[in-house]
Amino acid sequence: MASHEAKTETHIAKLSDCNYRAWKTEIKWYLKGKSILEYALGTVTLAESATEAERKVFRTNDDKAMAAIGLHIEPNQQIHIEECNNAHEAWSALERIHQPINRVRIMLLKREFYHIKMKDSETMSSYVARTKIATAYLKQAGSEVKDEDLAYVILAGLPNTYENLNTALASLPDDRFTSSEVIRVLLAEYDRRRSRTDDNASELMEALQNDKKSKSHKTDKVSNTSAATKTTVCFNCKKTSHYARNCRSKSGNKQNQHYKNSKKDLDAFLVSLNNLDVEESWLLDSGCTHHVCKRRDWFQNFQEIEEETITQQQILRSKEVPNYMRKAWATSC
């Protein structure tokens, strides 16, 4: 039995010069678990008419509480309790050293309390817990905190994303504007938002997986097309792995070559200038062979060549231009 208790013993960080708040909370829970907290707090006393058996039980429990306190403080802290005769005296001595009750301390605690803000990566429950801990510290220092003030502090520390809900809660009737009601609504809203965020994340992951499958399908399709092309016979050169329209043989079909040239001509026919002052301009196109300039005097090296000029009227009469394109061209001229 004793061995089992030793294995399940809770570890408590020893009291030092800078961890009294956390230590006090932990040691209180520890003493309460041993049913001896009231001996440290001084809430239980020994009556004058107590029997010898009752006195023995009282001294035993008080010694346990005293030992628990002494064993959970650093050596440099034990000087504060060496002359104490019971657990309550030791508890009070440490409290006077580390948590003195004065206006300066209360001022610092109030400043901390009224400036609590919810952190970006903090959960709502953690934020609410910090406000409650700050409230407890103020009460321990002798300064009472109204429940209404706690509710206001919780709302004031919320990020801007809770602005609408903040306003709605602040407008509650007096009988409903309590810290417990505010906390209840905020926790429910936080869970709702987190659930919505998780759903959005799931939808995004599903979309990414579908996109990956789509790309894989396209890759398989390209692979199948490439495999089919390897067995294709060109009608022009009688070789495999390409079609006649992609044949590079010099003995290629003239009709196919004429078709390619005609297609390029059709692309050129789509270029037109309308109502543009090009006196001082260069005519540029990222896809053209030559750029055009009207100013002869701008050229350092110039050589004239004779080329056939094709006017817009000739283009309109050309059999290469479809009827619907002629109409559009005539409209823009």
CB atoms within 10 A of CB 298: 10
CA pair distance 330, 78, nearest whole angstrom? 103
Coil, strand or helix at 162: helix
Burial level of 264, CB count in 10 A (0-12/13-18/19+)? exposed
Q: Which fold has domain 103-191?
A: 1.10.1200
Q: How many helices and strands, by DSSP H and E, does the chain display?
A: 13, 2
What tens digit of pLDDT does each residue of 45-79 get? 888 899 999 999 999 999 999 999 999 999 999 99
Is the pLDDT score of 284 beyond 70?
Answer: no
Percent of the chain scoring above 90 in pLDDT: 46
What tens digit of pLDDT does each residue of 313-331 get? 554 454 454 555 544 444 4
234: tokens are 């060109």
What tens digit of pLDDT does each residue of 27-49 get? 999 999 999 999 999 999 888 89
Domain ranges of the chain: 19-99, 103-191
CA pair distance 226, 96, nearest whole angstrom? 86
Which residue is associated with the tokens 């005609």?
262
pTM above 0.75, yes or no: no
What's the whole-number mean pLDDT along residues 277-305?
A: 65
What tens digit of pLDDT does each residue of 98-149 get? 888 788 889 999 999 999 999 999 999 999 999 999 999 899 888 999 999 9
Burial level of 219, CB count in 10 A (0-12/13-18/19+)? exposed
